Amino acid sequence: MSIKEMHFGPIWFIPGDNKGKYPFCHSIYIEGPGILIDPASNRKRLMELKKDPGVNTIWLSHWHEDHFMHLDLFDELPFLISKKDAVHLSDLEGFLDGYGIEAEDRDEWRSLAKETFHFCPRKPDSFLPVGSSGTYGSIRIDILAAPGHTPGNVALHFPDQDILFMADYDLTPFGPWYGDVGSNIEQTISSVKMLQQIPASTWLTSHEQGVFESAPGPLWRRYLDVIHDREAKLLALLDKPCTIEDIVNAWIVYRKPREPLSFYTFTEKALMTKHLERLMRKGFVEYDNGRYHKI
């Protein structure tokens, strides 16, 4: 069943292709000021919005490719993102740096960024005023710092409409992503707990279900429990010393190899590396002679 476009007064939920699953996401449109947030939903629908009722400004919740995929449709319009995330869109190498792509893999990722996600270097016309509240047209918006997913990740609270847009803190069964160079597991947990405390009656996210018109309730705990489950499985694996290749091949995150294999191998490694770093900081894991093991 496809997800339908929904309007909550001036706040429009624009569903992405394939239920907003990667490489797509849901977009948010704010009628009145004509703000389009995360233009990576349905390309045809975004072109329609540009004509009627019109798009005046583009905001990005963060710098990831599945949120800027159709930004090329709006090259002539002002574009805003947080200051901390802007560096990764200013040039292609900076984009790859954000993911920590190794030199030998960069050609493949350059092609992916250009051909699939229409990457074109962009510098914001100004930065989102993170941590502030403002009125845009007649719409009040609280721009909330929600780091962890990315350093400059933001969520948006619309207090008059009682709506909270949480971007990629999407409450999906997959759980949180924190595999960028600048991502942080502890900040991810703190941001999710912060968002849980924001008063709202409607919660919007960037992927899959996308719209929650009743309190998410146990979904908050299930979402964060994914982090702890991944960590518990990793610790169990490290009863015996393992190389990073051993850990990736255990497929703790994705449960089995997926295609394209190079992409999923990279993301599995990125997430597991964050867990290894966290466990070493806590003194639960050591690295010796090319292998990780539990202390």
Q: What is the CATH number of the domain that holds 111?
A: 3.60.15.10
Quick one: 176 and 239 in the same domain? no
Query: Is residue 39 within 8 Å of residue 72, measured between CB atoms?
Result: no
The contacts of residue 116 (CB under 8 Å, 6+ apart) are 23, 65, 69
Inside any domain, residue 54: yes
Q: What is the pLDDT of residue 33?
A: 98
Q: What is the CA radius of gyration of the chain?
A: 19
Quick one: 282 and 206 in the same domain? no
DSSP character string of 79-122: EEE-HHHHGGGSSHHHHHHHHT--GGGHHHHHHHHHHTT-----
Quick one: 178 and 89 in the same domain? yes
Inside any domain, residue 225: no
How buried is residue 88: exposed, middle or buried, by Cβ count under 10 Å (0-12/13-18/19+)? Answer: buried
Containing structural domain, residue 192 = 6-216
Inside any domain, residue 221: no
Angle ∠(187,202,79) on CA atoms, nearest 5? 65
Q: Phi, psi at residue 209, to the nearest 5°?
A: -50, -45
Quick one: 238 and 199 in the same domain? no
Inside any domain, residue 122: yes
Q: What is the CATH number of the domain that holds 251?
A: 1.10.10
Q: What is the pLDDT of residue 34?
A: 98
Query: Is residue 118 within 8 Å of residue 74, measured between CB atoms?
Result: no
Inside any domain, residue 222: no
Quick one: 131 and 85 in the same domain? yes
**Number of domains into which the chain is organized:** 2
> Taking the model in full, what pTM does it have?
0.96
Quick one: 250 and 211 in the same domain? no
Q: pLDDT (tens digit, 9 = 90+) per residue, 61-100?
A: 999 999 999 999 999 999 999 999 999 999 999 999 999 9
Q: What is the pLDDT of residue 2?
A: 77
Closest CA to 176 of 147, 145, 212: 147
Quick one: 211 and 235 in the same domain? no
Task: Give percent helix, percent strand, percent coil of the chain, each to the nearest 5.
Answer: 40, 20, 45
Quick one: 174 and 261 in the same domain? no
What is the C-alpha to C-alpha distance for residues 94 and 273, in angstroms, rounded to an integer? 21
The contacts of residue 124 (CB under 8 Å, 6+ apart) are 79, 80, 81, 86, 89
Of 162, 193, 216, the residue that ends a domain is 216
Q: Residue 171, by phi and psi: left (phi above 0), alpha (psi -120 to 50) or beta?
A: left
Quick one: 35 and 132 in the same domain? yes
| Bridge partners of residue 286, in order along the sequence | 293
- Distances in Å between the Cα of 214 and the Cα atoms of 2, 19, 157, 160, 277 are 20, 19, 16, 17, 37
Q: What is the pLDDT of residue 1?
A: 62
What pairing do the DSSP bridges indicate for beta strands 27-30 and 154-158?
unpaired
Quick one: 131 and 58 in the same domain? yes
pLDDT < 70 regions, the chain: 1
Closest CA to 80 of 134, 26, 161: 134
Is cis: bond before 23, omega within 30 of 0?
Answer: yes
Of 186, 216, 246, the residue that ends a domain is 216
Inside any domain, residue 62: yes
Inside any domain, residue 11: yes
Quick one: 82 and 170 in the same domain? yes
Quick one: 159 and 258 in the same domain? no
- Distances in Å between the Cα of 176 and the Cα atoms of 113, 126, 155, 288, 294 are 22, 28, 15, 29, 24
Inside any domain, residue 1: no
Of 216, 248, 282, the residue that ends a domain is 216
CA 77 to the chain's CA centroid: 23
User: Structure tokens of 94?
Assistant: 């900076």
